[in-house]
Amino acid sequence: MASIETDLKSVPTGNPFTLDVFLMDATSMAPSEGLSVTADLTMPSMAGMMLDKPKVTKGEKPGHYNVEVTLPHMGEYRLELHVKGVTLAFELTPGGSMDHGMEPMGGMHGMEMKGSLGDWPMNREGSGTSWQPDSSPMFMKMLPSALGFDWSVMGTMQAGYSDDNSPRGSKGFFTDSMAMLMGSRKVGGGTLGFNFMTSLDPVINGEKGVPDLFQTGETANGVPLVDRQHPHNLFSELALTYSHPISRDWSGFVYGGPVGEPALGNVMFMHRASGLEIPLSPITHHWFDSTHISFGVVTAGLVYANKWKLEGSVFNGQEPGENRYTIGPVALNSASGRLSYNPSKDWSLSASYGYLKSPEALAPGEDQHRTTASIAYSHEFSPTDSISATVLWGQRLQEGSSATNAYLAEATYFHAKDALFARFENVDEDELFQVPAGTYNVSKLVFGDVHNFYSHDQFDYGFGVYAGLYTFPGSLEPLYGKHPVSLGVFLRIRPSKM
């Protein structure tokens, strides 16, 4: 956490000027002593302008650091302090004032961890190359720098017991996990990024995954998985990114690797702020973001004014096979495009289209067209009080079949040590196995709460409860029961909010 203590009502030009910067620990609020602090000064309107590098020395008081800068003329400047892999960003205006700009990092004014794909807060970057609002809460732990990279880890692990209370449902213990290692460094005037994501699902849950009533998609032993969420792969992402400014308003990026996520759909459900605390996978997953594990992805994108993003991908449209421990086979046989727009720090909108080559293992040769649209909202009321919400629409059109639609609305209210969540879905299910052929309109409402009972070393440990309610055609009642109610309890571990 950082603040500038110097009176900035009259910032001079042409001469060296010393800023008094105070750094404190965000958890204990104690002054941060003995840190290695470096600084950079840029002028966003003149990207190629050479400016004197700021000098940083230890201040007289605990937690205070002196930063000497020289602003040659009038205009807007950006001062970045680099501390233990974190970037603290300030905007300086000679003759004016200091503007903290956006309010990332849980409302810690002036503190900003930059993203790997562009000059915006890391809070904006979801799974793959997707965007969410800049004000989205970010749960992450910083790691020591190594090999010239700044490293961090994100993710979650949940374990509990669920009972679907339905003849077709299941009951028993379950786990759900995803861990992501990220690294970034400056290279050639741009930013090089590294993403690695892994899951213990295949090790702990086995090939049949976990109970999730009305869930469909993928197979086990050559049979469709129904009413269960398939396990995620041991290698869920292995990709590199590189971003570079092109001009004052334009920047570009590339993303690719043997395992990754193409520009299709919205932020994957385990990564988006509105859904990351919900232990159940959406039953609409295969209409929106099921391509988040694709064996072969290359994406290129252009960004305008840090608000508009247009990107396209070539990728492997075939779903991962039943072997969850290996990568591949890698192919580039499908394509997608996505347009995203972040009009303000609280909003993010996107629309995408994808052509998937033979995605289903049990329907070889049947290609699929997928269209999605999303609206995401986040707002921070205080450092411990915020809300995140997402609305999604998706359509699948399988060759030889009619189009099916899916809708999702979810929200999580983060309040002190609690996260109250709810998700409503409505979907045209056409893959329910061992039921009369046809398409069934199904709705599902999941709601619950996670309470953090313990925090240590930037990790939060929570206990959660949830319930699931359903509506579906009466013709399915002999199979699912008249009014099934899913109930579950679980423990959750994830990094603390930054």
Average pLDDT over residues 135-145: 91
Query: What is the reported pTM?
Result: 0.79
Q: What is the pLDDT of residues 335-353, one digit of tens each?
A: 999 999 999 999 999 999 9
Q: Does 108 have pLDDT greater than 70?
A: no
Q: What is the pLDDT of residue 479?
A: 93
For residue 398, CA distances in Å to 227, 355, 431, 433, 441 come to: 21, 10, 12, 17, 17
Average pLDDT over residues 212-226: 82
CA 303 – CA 312 distance, rounded (Å): 12
Q: What is the pLDDT of residue 100?
A: 42
When mean pLDDT is compared over 41-45, 232-236, 297-301, the highest value belongs to 297-301
Q: Which of 96-110, 122-136, 482-496 has the lowest mean pLDDT?
A: 96-110
Q: What is the pLDDT of residue 110?
A: 38
Q: Does 47 have pLDDT greater than 60?
A: no
CA 12 – CA 82 distance, rounded (Å): 24
Per the CB < 8 A criterion, the answer to whether 227 and 213 are in contact is yes
Confidence band of 429 (pLDDT split at 50, 70, 90): very high
Of 116, 265, 91, 268, residue with least CA distance to 186 = 116
